[in-house]
Structure 1
Amino acid sequence: MQNLQNAPGVFNSVRLYTNIQAHTTSDVLSAIPAALKTNTSILLGLWTSGSNNITNELDALGKAIDQYGPDFANAVVAISVGSEDLYRLSDIGIRQNAGIGAGPDAIVQFINETRRFIEGTSLEGKPVGHVDTWRSWVNESNSAVIEAVDFIGVDIYPFFENDTTIAPNFYVNTFDNAVPIFRDRWEQVVNASQGKDVWITETGWPFKSEGPAWGESQASVDFQAEYWRGVGCGDLFGRVNTWWYTLRDANPESKQKFAITNEDLSTEASFNLSCSAVGTGRQNAARSAGGLSLRERVQDIGRWTFAILLGVAVL
């Protein structure tokens, strides 16, 4: 989906949460050849929760290297080892029934295994990192993961930030505070990053929300559009590697709907995507990428399979 009307640039990057096709042991995820056919760059993902090894993930990665050769290597932006594993294992993740996680020691082990695996292959030298919530990155107990990664992928959702005890600003998550909350969480991660590149791997604002309220936040298309302009146009696009959530809502169980297009993947978004003004930004990385997320839940194995369609990568 590279032809979104009024988009601020060409969105042509995809983020994957696993290399493995659903209902197989280690077959290559179908999103990989699909991305190659459309000249879409890829932030690869290895699923690391719920297992003491990543053998099958690496097997699938090896098959992709063998099957798709230089085209695959040229398309790969980086490799994320895990996604929100530290959050799911944290107190807040457990309270929110986020699922099975993995601790920092396991993530560091898997990062090192991934680096060893790609040595001598066409992916050697690709950045290897991890994706997690901002709270996980600023938690000192996870500092070993920061030391191990080449880049930090952070997921920030002001909509869900209903904790008003977070210093120094103690924000209430009304929409008026959405951009300040985003910037506060972003800056906290940058300050904890040990100088590593920080990428936005998920952010967005829902147009619809069901179930219990999340603090003072409210969902609407108007707020979704304003968040796109305030955070996306104002701080991220063209400045920071960014994968936006989401192109299409693929999980029917989700109480919050974030899609910027309708279910038929129309090139017409629900609001005007153009950036009328260029913001000052919060850049700490020279590379620039953009994407829109597309997450598909595999219920029988509890694994996010593939995600994030649309992005700009200037590497």
Structure 2
Amino acid sequence: MLSFLSILVPLLLSFTAPSAAYWKGFNLPGNLPSGACKTREDWAHDFSVLKSLPGQFTSARLFASSDCGTLANAVPAALAANAGLLVGVWATDNAHYEAEKAALLQAIQQHGTQWIIAVSVGSEDLYRGDTSAANLASQIREVKSLLCERGACGTEVGHVDTWTAWVDPKNEDVIRACDFVGHDGYPYWEGASVEQGLDAFRTNLEKTRNAVGRVKPGTWVWVTETGWPVTGASVGLASSSVANAQAYWKSAACESFRGAHTFWYTTQDYASSPSFGVLGADFKPLYDLSC
């Protein structure tokens, strides 16, 4: 006869090792730091580098579908690397939105759907005031319908925005339309010191979760952008440095990877200021990325 413990222990283990259930990756732009569009070979190199990092990252968030031929070049490279993609569809400017949908549907027609983690319609559009909640919610539902028509009814579709947008009651229609909610949070831009960074990250993520939970209980909140710059101007108490970026990674990244689908910002942006890149021009880590 099986003992109570022989049954209980496997059950407990199944709930105490959640990290394997979460996607963890980086935001990957469609352009090189020089501004040139990435080729298929550039995307393949990106995925190879991600796999070589501590943690062996096998997923990425893309900002667009049509820009720079993002999906046309990234999807074959992702399939070859067995990587998953959180796809971005720009929602502002009707012509751009139509081109994005067309690029997504063409990629599905050519490559199926096994490479798709989920689809985000828009990115910080509510924060910028670029569209209304009603219009964005309608676009989310439209993309869900288009995916379902292509046999991808189970694909989650949501939106990525700042916590300030998610707690605003006028945006609740977007939450209702979402299968998942993407949270963008940067303690650096809010002027928090790096010592305050983890608490600020936790606090604002919880604000998003509470707002989403009130409107649509059970909806998962993903961490779709956060990071700390290695160079750039100070903002309030926040200062950029390799040491501070390292400290924020060790606290916020390592915690988030264990508790939510998380996409860090970013791999390379050394031509920008501030620069949030974790890799130098040689694709080597600028600091310890282990957890």
CA distance in 2 between partners of 1:29 and 1:257 (Å)? 27
C-alpha offsets along residues 195-229 of structure 1, whole Å, 9 cap, x if unaligned? 2100000111001114xx42111011111111011
TM normalised by structure 1 equals 0.72
Task: Tell whether 2:259 aligns with 1:239.
Answer: yes
C-alpha offsets along residues 140-164 of structure 1, whole Å, 9 cap, x if unaligned? 11111111101000110000013xx
CA distance in 1 between partners of 2:105 and 2:138 (Å)? 19
* Cα 1:217/1:53, change in 2 over 3 Å: closer
Counterpart selection for 2:167 from 130, 135, 138: 138
CA distance in 1 between partners of 2:231 and 2:258 (Å)? 28
Shift of 1:188: 0.4
Aligned to 1:280: none
CA distance in 1 between partners of 2:200 and 2:52 (Å)? 28
1:78-97 pair list within 5 angstroms:
78-89=118-129
Show structure 1 runs of 5+ residues with no match: 90-100, 163-172, 276-315
CA RMSD in angstroms comes to: 1.8
Aligned to 2:278: 260
Contact kept? 1:175, 1:223, Cα under 8 Å: yes
- Match for 1:61: what amino acid? L
CA distance in 1 between partners of 2:205 and 2:117 (Å)? 21
TM normalised by structure 2 equals 0.77
CA distance in 2 between partners of 1:21 and 1:136 (Å)? 25
CA distance in 2 between partners of 1:178 and 1:41 (Å)? 29
Shift of 1:270: 1.3
Q: Taking every aligned residue pair, what percent have the same amino acid on both sides?
A: 36
1:180-259 pair list within 5 angstroms:
180-194=199-213, 195=217, 196-210=219-233, 213-233=234-254, 235-249=255-269, 252=271, 254-259=272-277
Shift of 1:4: 3.6
1:78-157 pair list within 5 angstroms:
78-89=118-129, 101-157=130-186
Aligned to 2:74: 31
Shift of 1:53: 7.5
Larger Rg: 2
Shift of 1:56: 1.9
Shift of 1:182: 0.6
CA distance in 1 between partners of 2:265 and 2:92 (Å)? 21
* Cα 1:259/1:224, change in 2 over 3 Å: same
Name the SS of the counterpart of 1:48 in structure 2: coil
Structure with the higher helix share, 1 or 2: 2
Shift of 1:105: 1.4
Higher relative contact order (CA 8 A, sep 6+): 1
C-alpha offsets along residues 89-123 of structure 1, whole Å, 9 cap, x if unaligned? 1xxxxxxxxxxx22211110100110110113242
Contact kept? 2:157, 2:180, Cα under 8 Å: yes
Shift of 1:264: 2.9
Shift of 1:124: 1.8
Aligned to 1:305: none
Contact kept? 1:81, 1:110, Cα under 8 Å: yes
Aligned to 2:59: 13
Aligned length: 239
Contact kept? 2:75, 2:115, Cα under 8 Å: no
Contact kept? 2:51, 2:58, Cα under 8 Å: no
Contact kept? 1:21, 1:30, Cα under 8 Å: no
Contact kept? 1:131, 1:153, Cα under 8 Å: yes
Show structure 2 runs of 5+ residues with no match: 1-48
* Cα 1:255/1:138, change in 2 over 3 Å: same
Shift of 1:32: 2.1
Name the SS of the counterpart of 2:263 in structure 1: strand
